[in-house]
Amino acid sequence: MPQKNRAGVIEFFRTITALPRFRNFNLVFCGQKLSDNLAEQVRVCGLSRVVCDLGFVSDAELSYLYFNAEFLIFPSLMEGFGWPIIEAQSLGCLVVTSDIKPMNEVSGRGAILINPYNMSASAHTVADQYTRRDEIIELGYANSRKYMPEQMIDAVIEVYEEITFGQQKTTND
């Protein structure tokens, strides 16, 4: 799944862990197991001892990972929506994601936005903005509340009302 940009994540991680502040970080992959090519990239980059490929995990395990992570790196090149952004934000996890649609729209102001096509530069962007970690997490948590079922239902009702009342105004004029 090249659109997930996992090769880019490995490059990002290689770059960021060369910086003193991030030297002791580990990288955890969830979901589909790494391909042989990506596993080889991890090995060639000398990251085998600090990269863990868990495969698919339960919802409880995923929540635990978000809750204990320094940040979620989600540099996808193409998504329909980007639920991991909202999941991470709702659990107080810093989000690092692509500065392209829909990720930059879904994340609101509660993420560090990066260029998914230049992951080495993106690592430096994260390092530069990391001092704002707590602020960005708070903004992310507030953003995630917009996507709670109650708020989404209210938003859908509002759209239907605008459409319905807007049509009535037009036909009554």
Q: Which domains does the chain have, with CATH numbers?
A: 2-145 (3.40.50.2000)
How many angstroms separate the CA atoms of 107 and 128, rounded?
Answer: 19
Give Dmax (Cα) for the chain: 70
Average pLDDT of the segment spanning 46-65: 96
Q: What 3-state DSSP class applies to 100?
A: coil
Q: What 3-state DSSP class applies to 114?
A: strand
Q: Which residue has the tokens 């589909």?
A: 32
Q: Which residue has the tokens 């090519």?
A: 37
CB 60 within 8 A of CB 67: no
Whole-number pLDDT of residue 23: 96
pLDDT over threshold 90, residue 90? yes
Q: What is the pLDDT of residues 93-139, one digit of tens each?
A: 999 999 999 999 999 999 999 999 999 999 999 999 999 999 999 99
CB 117 within 8 A of CB 96: no
Average pLDDT of the segment spanning 17-35: 97
Average pLDDT of the segment spanning 67-94: 96
pLDDT over threshold 70, residue 81? yes
pTM: 0.85
How many angstroms separate the CA atoms of 170 and 173, rounded?
Answer: 5
pLDDT over threshold 80, residue 39? yes
Q: Which residue has the tokens 């960021």?
A: 16
pLDDT over threshold 80, residue 78? yes
Which of the pair, 151 or 67, is modelled with greater confidence? 67
Whole-number pLDDT of residue 44: 98
State percent of the chain over pLDDT 90: 82
